[in-house]
């Protein structure tokens, strides 16, 4: 088995609650985790970067 870590991307539609933060922490253990926020306002999210991040990730989780 490879030593390469699974790449996981967390995409946030709104600001994460404490419960969501805890779940993200659990899901990210022993993984190469990245995050992308859609709720930050200005400047608007760069969707080209988001698509690239999704394509590079092994798993993507959307949090509303």
Q: From the CB of residue 55, how many other CB atoms can be counted at a distance below 10 Å? A: 9
Q: Is 27 helix (H, G, I), strand (E, B) or coil?
A: helix
pTM of the model: 0.88
User: What integer pLDDT is reported at residue 38 of this predicted model?
Assistant: 94
CA 18 to chain centre: 16
Domain boundaries, the chain: 7-63
pLDDT digits (tens, 9 = 90+) for 21-61: 999 999 999 999 999 999 977 788 999 999 999 999 999 99
Closest C-alpha to 22, from 36, 10, 6: 10
């Amino acid at each position: 088995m490879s030593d390469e870590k699974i790449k996981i991307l967390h995409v946030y539609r709104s600001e994460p609650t404490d419960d969501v933060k805890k779940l993200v922490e659990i899901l990210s253990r022993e993984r190469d985790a990245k995050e992308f926020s859609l709720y930050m306002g200005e400047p608007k999210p760069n969707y080209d970067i988001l698509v690239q991040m999704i394509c590079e990730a092994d798993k993507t989780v959307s949090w509303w």
